[in-house]
Amino acid sequence: MQKVAKFHKVSLEQFIKDWEDTFGKGQFNKDIYDGVLLPKRATAGSAGYDFYTPVEIKLSAGETIKIPTGIRAEISEGWVLMCFPRSGLGFKYRMQLDNTVGIIDADYFGAENEGHIMIKITNDSNEDKNLVVEAGKGFAQGILVPFGITVDDESTEVRVGGFGSTN
């Protein structure tokens, strides 16, 4: 196996900013940041690195939430981190990522927001099931995948912003 990435926590300042953007001013306490867990594989044979929610998440059918994970990924050139729902949550609750598949590019690590990975999920249950993910439990998974470019690629742009900042 090639080792092509390393997970880091974002700074406390960045986490507070993004947390309050999601949950509102005054909804942060340092225990949330201290409880951020770096993604890890559940078994030696797992492809996916589990992302954990720093607080309990409760979603009724049809509800959506953006989760600031507190994580950024330092990824080698030529690789991408692709984020998906945890299989069991997708199967049981139709939990979905709002952008279907999250794409974390290697240059996102250096973005103005420190490359803070946000994962927006929806409980798309058509059976009125309530989705509850306890604090510290996995809700999404990231898989590192190599990618190629075309022989006539001439891209020279440099990322500065976060989500949606590339054209």
Is 162 inside a domain boundary? no
How many percent of the chain have pLDDT more than 90? 83
Q: Which residues of 139-166 are buried (b: 16+ CB within 10 A; e: fewer)?
A: bbbbebeeeeeeeeeeeeeebeebeeee
Residue-averaged pLDDT of the chain: 93
State how many domains the chain has: 1
Look up the CATH number of the domain holding residue 137: 2.70.40.10
What pLDDT does residue 76 have? 98
Q: Could you report the per-residue pLDDT of 56-107, keeping only the tens digit for each?
A: 999 999 999 999 999 999 999 999 999 999 989 989 889 999 999 999 999 9
Helix (H, G, I), strand (E, B) or coil at 86: coil
In eight-state DSSP terms, residue 71 is E
Q: Is residue 85 part of a domain?
A: yes
Domain encompassing residue 35? 5-146
In a domain, 137, yes or no: yes
Residue 12 lies in a domain: yes
Res 20: pLDDT: 96
Looking at residue 163, what is its pLDDT?
54
Examine residue 11 and state whether it is found in any structural domain, yes or no.
Answer: yes
Question: So what's the pLDDT on residue 93?
Answer: 87
- If one compares 166 and 8, the residue with the highest pLDDT of the two is 8
Distance of CA 21 to the CA centre of its chain: 16
Q: Which of 27, 42, 119, 33 has the alpha carbon at shortest distance from 73?
A: 119
- Residue 130 token pair: 């309530």
DSSP per residue, 94-129: -EEETTSSEEEEGGGGGSTTTT--EEEEEE--SS-P
pTM, rounded to two decimals: 0.91
- Asked, for residue 157, whether it belongs to a domain, the answer is no
Checking if the pLDDT of 159 tops 80, the result is no
Query: Taking residues 142-152, what's their average pLDDT?
Result: 96
Instruction: Note the pLDDT tens digit of each residue in 93-120.
Output: 899 999 999 999 999 999 999 999 999 9
- State the pLDDT at residue 161: 63
